[in-house]
Amino acid sequence: MTGTRRTPIARSRTSPITPVAVKLFDQMRQCRCTCPPRDWHDPKTWIRECEGCERWWKLHSHLHTELHCCPWEWPCIEHPSARSPYPRGSEADTRWEPDLEAQELWRQLEAARKAAREARQRAKAAEQQPPPTT
């Protein structure tokens, strides 16, 4: 029996940024957390339960599905300026690393959101212009 030679192809995963994904991202950007500050000495404050957080995670779940992300890509987006949420100098803080792929996806969604907003503004301006007379 002869074996076949397979050469693995390193493919970068590209998620299609759909209009639905942009809309979900825009809605996520409008969510506001009203949770009290986290006190690392009191585990009761570690849980985020406000309406803003619940809505953000629900929208994130829909965005994750819309972008066809893999289960281990959770969360699928991360703000580019994200910092370690752990106490400075703690073991968890020293191990924390930014998710560069999730940050890049955030940047792509942000760019698509801005492009969609500009397109809407151009369309609105075109509607308001009187038709040319000839």
DSSP string, 52-104: HHHHHHHHHHHHHHHTT--TTS-SS---TT----SPTTSHHHHH----HHHHH
The C-alpha atoms of residue 23 and residue 51 are separated, in whole angstroms, by 19
What is the value of pTM for the model shown? 0.80
User: What pLDDT does 1 receive?
Assistant: 56
- pLDDT, one tens digit per residue, over 102-118 is 999 999 999 999 999 99
- pLDDT, one tens digit per residue, over 15-51 is 589 999 999 999 999 999 999 888 888 888 888 789 9
Give, in degrees to the nearest 5, the angle at Cα 106 between 80 and 74. Answer: 95
Where in the chain are the domains? 19-36+44-79+99-126
**Average pLDDT of the chain, as a whole number:** 90
